[in-house]
Structure 1
């Protein structure tokens, strides 16, 4: 039996955050080489990119459609099934951010200034030149909004949800690194720590930076026109370089200040300004028509989505339209998925899979639906009303479409200024979130809640700006779109492996939870104090109404928990088991008792009695508790707290509870054992550090 004053460090933890030299060097060299090639040999780069995207559009369109549909079905099944109760973290963990802040951050990270770019131009373009059927008809107008919402809707956010839940689940529940490779652990095991894992992270980072650069390129063009519209500045590469430099500087300041201060505050301000602009158009425009349009658009999306998600247009295939719209959007969402998924995981610890998936797929899409319906229908109303000049501008010069729409409403100088500033915030929140995530990708983080060093965040902000500039020099937004389609292809293969890894891990998780629920009634019955244990009904009532303080909690560990677990330890050791018992100091200064039984390659058994501090409730009798805090001695396993209190148990009752858990664990291994070792999601998952993270200063994070 070993005793120590410090907690064991998890296998994935490192002493301090340091650079992942292989991933950092490989990705930095690759991106720099592509950027320089595009700058030096622009014609060659444009020709090669064009040929590659033509091949992908012609031969791999069906594949993109199939993959993204599989992702939608997969995440919805996870969310709506029983496994949806599983948390992205230990069972007792709580969300760090409220729903508004969380929604604002995931929205601002997942959607950039491109929403302003396409919310006006795409509905008009699809109305005037639809992929099938005649343009400029009532049906074309109806379908134009559906296409726009389809491209910005459920499918894209499902991709984010898959990546986010995979990263959050393995990082916060099994203490693996917060990186893409962790999602492949159930498939490849320790091989993810070698060249395979490095290759996966480099590929994810390359795809991510191209996805971000596409958004930033669109943003620069949009902002350039906004400044030209308001101040008469020229629309040229010089101004765009200046805008990139300014945006990189703002993103650097934001990302250096971290998630809590910079990114969080900018995200909230971004959403508030966007809401204000949207409400203004709703009130100043044809309100009744716009409200009718919102309701109809909701119905059309819900009714037409199932057919559209697999519509490859095989019998009358508009290749140029598909590559310019649907395939581009699917590749763009896929390229953004690692970046946004890691960021979402970073801010979603403690949420259940169901909360996470439904929140990610519903909260931002509800905003997007309102935004696109209001701005898109306002634009269509102008074109259908005979404003052909506006329609031509929206279709052929999309960066001018949003400001062209604002010209039709009062208070133009003010609305244009708000739109430009909102667009700048969209740009910066995408850039700073991207820099933070890419820096984390290329680092060995101390733990999943820490971030990469500031110099690395600055480096990636600058590199992203450099790549954006290079692609704009080659051929503008079109080249960025084409490059995204190409980079999305290898990442889509990675999505398939991630789904398989998540499935394998959650299958084990589901079986473990089911076995616990099945055995819970008998465990409760076995541990309930009764007269044969020497307790009268009055003593049981006294225990139910007591709120033990620090001294009582410490005494319970010393007198009951440690002796009980020591007897179990000695008995298991005498029978040849690989067993250890440790006493560690919790954050509140009270010792814990921790029994671990190694089971070879299978998932180990863990039983820990851990003191959790709570506020004494208002209904507690003053005589029952003179302190403002009280302690529950909760039982923890690898999955976190089981949510019940063993304070007041006798030594024999606690031993009975340990054996109940141990027998259930052995039964779980037996029922899920196809081959030796396949039940171990991670070889030696240690969640003790996760518990400390959730009980800061002796109090559970709320």
Structure 2
């Protein structure tokens, strides 16, 4: 893991923690309103499905028929808007904004990050549909004749369309909203936080609880659908390997095993259990892909990969709004595209929160493009290799395999593997890989649902362990209940229904993000238009210039704790005290604070100016530790660490060092920042009260607490 921690928590934009109005260390605790409301709802649905199987099946069937008949256009419109929205954000200048303060860095390297987002965002259903869907779409396409060359091309395009950019855009939107508001503004890592720019403090009441409950209900049905698909597929795999029967008893056993494994994994946390399972998952999946590619018709599959890529790129714009208005293919739309869009929407809160949890420090552009491209590149290879391999078998006369893939899709993946050498060994590896996919979906889901039903002490913490165990068990129970009602089809139908209210939530999230990112753009404009020297840290240097020897001395200085404290006592604190006194004399709501950073013994100095309901002004001088470079002269090279006295605002570090500045230069720098902040408020004068995403008192309360030093190595 490539890890670099950030400088002080006070540097986070918004400057507030989840717990407000208190200097006591916050603690993670259960959100009983959301927990009880969601738990009662889920247990009631599960109990109803088990007791009144026929009635539950009839109600779910009638509801999904109404949704697919009357709201299909709406699903298509919403997901298309999401794709456009996230791409515009990623490709415009606001994409350079970080999910966190400006100085923050990613916690995980690219491979680990991509592995976790892929394993969480796609479960065992990829193995299920990578063979069964291409064969089904080839033999029974929604339009045109089946078993033709065009049907083969369209079969792969449809499968990749259902597993492609649209779904990952939904994940990217939710993850972006959660990560931005949590890490940039220190709001709670929950769905309700994304609605703060619209509803303000109302999100702390019934409105927020209702949003979180709805998100959790949709999430658990989405996960249960994947687990239900996984159960029937793994059941068949175990039949091939050990002769176990395909029945409900074995499926219950598989659910129990998954719950136990998911519990063990989720109790280990993100950095250990979930991370390691995700990495192993991807490695095994890659191994299966290479095996099929090498042992099958390699040239044909490589040709297919290239053509499938071109077809998806060229046909995607038309497909994303194709509602089949003039030639609706029976129940096809309901069973395929509408189901997939609702399924992705249902998974979006779960995967989005998990993605936000592992993405602090990445820019918005990195996050969105990485979420869209990295997993889809893997999916494109996986589906192209397995899908084209399956089509090759059917097109060369194996009609029996095609019939099985259509009628019993849980057998399709294993049926393909049986066509290759060393089938028993490969089937065993595939079953183990599927089990890992199954478990990573369950453990990530349990962790996220525990977080949904908790007041987290900070965005990097997780819900209580007993809560994770509870949600792992409830997910297993719901999966069993839905399988009892009508198997995978009922799970799919329930997902379409639960996706409808969540899709409305997506529209509000886009509006909230739009408002917040407009403020972010305006803040950037104010820095660029007012004083460009602030960005480089040179504005104060030019005001009271020193001779060249003094400048050279400063450039070659690598101060330790003693020199840093001398700078605070003799320069930084007196300079900020003068600014504080003058601001106070002119009637400003100003606070000056200083405290010792315990881990290094150096003081930080903080100036805060309250501006009513608008975004408050913050100027902080804080010691940031670095490794002393090998080229440091003299005695400085003997100390492995040195300290830069960096300037922080609400957005994070401005990445320049004040050590060596005079008192007058520091005062000039403070005023440069203050005037720039006032320029920012001026640019937003047409929308008063919208520059602050959290109230000013929260910022002020948290400003006055002590903060530990966090090392940053360069």
Same fold judged by TM-score > 0.5? yes
- The correspondence of residues 242-641 of structure 1 with structure 2, limited to 5 A, is 242-523=253-534, 526-528=539-541, 533=545, 535-586=546-597, 587-641=599-653
The match for 2:3 is none
Aligned to 1:10: 16
Query: For the structure 1 residues 674 and 529, does the alpha-carbon distance in structure 2 shift closer, same or farther, using more than 3 Å as the test?
Result: closer
1:172 matched to which residue of 2?
183
**Contact conserved, 1:640 with 1:687, CA < 8 A, in 2?**
no
Report 1:109-188 matches (<5 A). Answer: 109-188=120-199
Distance 1:150 1:159 in 2: 14
2:96/2:363 contact within 8 Å kept: yes
- Over 3 Å counting, the alpha-carbon distance change for 1:151 and 1:696 in structure 2 is farther
Query: Are residues 254 and 6 of structure 1, via their aligned partners in 2, closer, same or farther at CA, if it must alter by over 3 Å?
Result: closer
User: Contact 1:578–1:598 at 8 Å: present in 2 too?
Assistant: yes
Q: Of residues 638, 660, 664 in structure 2, which corresponds to 1:652?
A: 664
Residues 587-644 of structure 1, C-alpha deviations (whole Å, 9 max, x = no match): 5331110000000001100000011000011222245543111111111000101111
Distance 1:380 1:258 in 2: 41
Q: Which residue of 1 aligns with 2:220?
A: 209
How far 1:12 moved relative to its partner?
1.6
Residue number in structure 2 paired with 1:240: 251
Give the SS at the match of 1:95. Answer: coil
Distance verdict in 2 for CA 1:429–1:689, change over 3 Å: farther
How many residues were matched structurally? 695
Q: Is the Cα contact below 8 Å between 2:631 and 2:637 reproduced in 1?
A: no
SS in 2 for 1:700: coil
Partner of residue 665, structure 1 = 677
| Deviations 1:652-674, CA, capped at 9 Å, x for gaps | 11011101111111111011122
| TM-score after normalising by structure 2 | 0.95
3-state DSSP of counterpart to 1:699 = coil
| TM-score, normalised via structure 1 length | 0.97
Instruction: Determine if the alignment matches structure 1 residue 198 to structure 2 residue 238.
Output: no
Q: 1:696 to 1:385 in 2, by over 3 A?
A: farther
Give the conservation status (yes or no) of the 8 Å contact 2:164–2:376.
yes
Do the aligned residues in 2 keep the contact of 1:588 with 1:698 (CA within 8 Å)? no
SS at match of 2:648: strand
SS of the residue corresponding to residue 642 of structure 1 reads: strand
CA distance in 2, matches of 1:432, 1:192: 28
Q: Which consecutive residues of structure 1, in runs of 5 or more, have no partner in the other structure? A: none
- Preserved contact between residue 58 and residue 319 of structure 1 (Cα < 8 Å): no
Q: Does 1:227 align with 2:230?
A: no
Structure 2 Cα separation of the partners of residues 295 and 459 of structure 1? 46
Counterpart CA distance in 1 for 2:702 and 2:273 is: 27
Superposed displacement of residue 557, structure 1:
1.0
* CA distance 1:425–1:320, change in 2 (3 Å): same
Unaligned runs of 5+ in 2: 1-7, 20-24
Match of 2:712 in 1: 700
8 Å CA contact 1:71, 1:159 repeated in 2 = yes
Inter-partner Cα distance in structure 2 for 1:701 and 1:20: 37
Q: Residue in 1 aligned with 2:5?
A: none
